[in-house]
Structure 1
């Protein structure tokens, strides 16, 4: 039983998951700070967000339905999603595209893969260059068939 637990803990995906949770918690703090200290004050200039919690309340007996709080939560979610996308995702995608373009700049077009014939021709040309002479295709005296 102890060996099984040790094997489970030593798996790479458990460690990766733990790191992801810790980084996710730190990332959440950054995003929440941006939303609370930048986005919410900007939205506050447009309308009173605090009033949504007490607005659009429908009460039936003891049950209280706060549609304004739901709308406020949706606005908060959209603010967080916008910050994540525009501050983190979009610049990272742009960075990846630029890095990929630089990487592909020196490589042949991937839509025209190199064939075996191309590789053999390169080998023939390299051998000819090493031998100090040039050989024409089929000039080795061998008969191709």
Structure 2
């Protein structure tokens, strides 16, 4: 009983990991996005290609044998060996359009956002330049140290100037 409970607990932990949830969201968005890309290929790309011939890319084919015939009633291939290169072209165009849209509308903006976040974190980690008041305090401490001849005891705001020993 405890082993099955452990397996179920492990399965629950696996499902609740961020990667699995992100993957599930990506699959759902990808499925919805496929419909958009298919509509673009069917409504824009195919008519452009159709200006040269058939609007349906599946009709572009080549026969490898000398005798190629279609059944006039069904339109199916009755005789011969056909290469349906139009279907391959359609799938390749769909892939290229999908890849381009994913890259330009998702990957590129996310990468630029990450670069900005990294630059912002780098700017926050660099200490700010000392203010005029801090510099004046350092100069005052250095002058006091020169006058008294004792090593400088820097104030709370003192930096490089207040810690250096000056020669007279």
Runs of 5+ unmatched residues, structure 1: 110-126, 138-145
Give the equivalent residue in structure 1 for 2:95.
77
In the TM superposition, what whole-angstrom CA distance separates every residue of 1:1-37 from its partner, at most 9, and x where no partner exists?
A: 41342243133x4333542343023211342244234
Q: Larger RCO: Structure 1 or Structure 2 (Cα < 8 Å, ≥ 6 residues apart)?
A: 1
Mark the CA change 1:83 to 1:59 in structure 2 (over 3 Å): closer, same or farther.
same
Task: Map 1:70-109 to 2 at 5 A.
Answer: 70-108=88-126
Aligned length: 118
Mark the CA change 1:10 to 1:38 in structure 2 (over 3 Å): closer, same or farther.
same
Which residue, out of 47, 50, 60, partners 2:49? 47
Runs of 5+ unmatched residues, structure 2: 66-78, 128-152, 157-161
Give the equivalent residue in structure 2 for 1:112.
none
Is contact 1:57-1:66 (8 Å) kept? yes
In the TM superposition, what whole-angstrom CA distance separates every residue of 1:58-112 from its partner, at most 9, and x where no partner exists?
A: 3555654312211111111111111111111111111211222222223239xxx
SS at match of 1:102: helix
Q: How far, CA to CA, are the matches of 2:42 and 2:104 in structure 1?
A: 16
Give the equivalent residue in structure 2 for 1:57.
62
Give the equivalent residue in structure 2 for 1:26.
28
